[in-house]
Amino acid sequence: MPVKIQEVGVESLSLYATIPDSFMAESVFCIEPIDGGLGGFAFIEERITPYRKYDDDVSEVLNWPKRFDVSKWGFFIAFDGDRPVGGAAVAIDTPAGMTTPFERADVAALWDIRVHPDERRRGIGSTLFEYAADWARRKGFRQLKIETQSVNVPACRFYAKQGCQLGAIHRYGYAGCPDVAHEAMLLWYLEL
In CATH, the number for domain 4-191 is: 3.40.630.30
Q: How far is Cα of residue 11 from the mean position of the Cα atoms in its chain?
A: 21
Query: What's this model's pTM, rounded to 2 decimal places?
Result: 0.92
List beta partners, residue 109.
Answer: 91, 145
Strand partners, 143: 107, 191
What pLDDT is stored for residue 50 in this prediction? 96
The strand ranges marked E within the chain are 4-8, 23-33, 41-53, 74-80, 83-91, 107-115, 143-149, 165-170, 185-191
Q: What is the tally of helices (H) and strands (E) in the chain?
A: 5, 9
Domain ranges of the chain: 4-191
Nearest to 58 by CA among 9, 22, 29, 107: 22
Give me the tens of pLDDT residue by residue for the chain, a chain 192 residues long: 689 999 999 999 999 999 999 999 999 999 999 999 999 999 999 999 999 999 878 899 999 999 999 999 999 999 999 999 999 999 998 665 555 555 678 999 999 999 999 999 999 999 999 999 999 999 999 999 999 999 999 999 999 999 999 999 999 999 999 999 999 999 999 999
